Amino acid sequence: FNCQNNLLGSLNLLVPALQRPGTRFLFTSSIAVYGAAQVPMTEAMTPHPEDPYGIAKYAFELELAAAHRTHGLDYVVFRPHNVYGEGQNVADRYSNVVGIFVRQALAGQPLTVFGDGTQTRAFSHVSEVAPVLARAFDTPAAWNTVYNLGADTPYTVLRIARAVQRAVGREVDIRHLAPRDEVEHAWADHGRAHAAFGRPEPVDLDDGVARMVAWVRR
């Protein structure tokens, strides 16, 4: 399923793009391409993805670079991370943990935390990401380059759980499950993106989660 959607699905878009002169390709990859023990993650690092999702994302990054070399296709690769906010599909069981917690909390279910909850991620509100994506096509100096994109401050999963509890207005229980085989700490440096597109207005974590909960309730 992962390969079909993240690699083959992207190739199904790349092939017709190569057949239309002047087309440019914007790809949302992921910091999952970096793997573990590389924080803060920078674009200069050699990717070492550790799971099928990161492998598929990085494979298509390589396809885009090859398409540029052989066919002259201009592209931009963004590696966003842990994006949440209004408009997210909170029914998706595999979505960002913020969406999962919001769905569980509003349904009166306990928040499920894998391990002790001290894993850290830099949770990025959609308003810190989407406007940069929209500007990329009109920024020729940014083409054929890879950019990390998202929030700068890492938080623990337990901190996210507390933010969701506050946003829904009640002390929802937290249920700890067995740890997963996952990267424990993942956040990135965004200096390259800030130089190319400017620094987006940061969104306070509690404010962003509250806005998302209000949207889901509506």
pLDDT tens digits, residue range 124-143? Answer: 999 999 999 999 989 999 99
Are 146 and 43 in contact by the 8 Å Cβ rule? The answer is yes
Residue 94's pLDDT is 78
In this predicted structure, the answer to whether residue 36 has a pLDDT above a threshold of 90 is no
Read off the pLDDT of each residue in 83-93 and give the average, rounded to a whole number.
92
In single-letter form, the type of residue at position 172 comes to: V
Q: Put the strands of the sheet holding 24-28 in their side by side order.
A: 24-28, 74-80, 145-149
In this predicted structure, the answer to whether residue 95 has a pLDDT above a threshold of 80 is no
Read off the pLDDT of each residue in 186-199 and give the average, rounded to a whole number.
94
Token representation of residue 101: 């917690």
In this predicted structure, the answer to whether residue 24 has a pLDDT above a threshold of 90 is yes
In this predicted structure, the answer to whether residue 15 has a pLDDT above a threshold of 90 is yes
In this predicted structure, the answer to whether residue 171 has a pLDDT above a threshold of 90 is no
- Residue 178: which pLDDT band, with cuts at 50, 70 and 90? very high
39 Cβ contact list (under 8 Å, min separation 6): 185, 186, 187, 188
Query: How does pLDDT run across 153-167, given as a tens digit for each residue?
Result: 999 999 999 999 999
Residue 92's pLDDT is 86
